[in-house]
Amino acid sequence: MAEKSPEKKIGKKALASKNGGDLLAKYQTHEKDTGSTEVQVVVLTKKIAELTNHLKTHKQDYDSRVGLLKMVGKRRRLLNYFKKTNEAEYPNLIADLKLRK
């Protein structure tokens, strides 16, 4: 019998190294920064991209679709807050993440 390897949760550090950590590192204020608005938006954007690819192949995964919509809403709220608090950096973040608006 082959042993099953335990599933690993994707942490923010693994997510950064796997999906362009340079963008995450650009917006972090220090090495362990995971709570600043910019970093949260970058991490959510990466998760949204992964979930979107998953849903392209698994069209009837409605639970994941609900999770995706919640993530998109949270990212939108974070971006609205970031725009209010840091108007100068907002266009740069939008451009780097290739988002509309």
Q: What is the pLDDT of residues 16-48, one digit of tens each?
A: 445 457 889 999 999 999 999 999 999 999 999
Domain at 36-101, CATH class = mainly alpha
Give the number of other CB atoms < 10 A from CB of residue 26: 14
Global model pTM greater than 0.75: yes
Instruction: Please compute the mean of the pLDDT values over residues 71-91 and round it to a whole number.
Output: 97
Q: If you write DSSP's letter for every residue of 70-99 in order, what string do you get?
A: HHHHHHHHHHHHHHHH-TTTHHHHHHHHT-
The token duo for 11 is 């942490």
Q: What are the backbone angles phi and psi of residue 5, rounded to the nearest 5°?
A: -85, 140
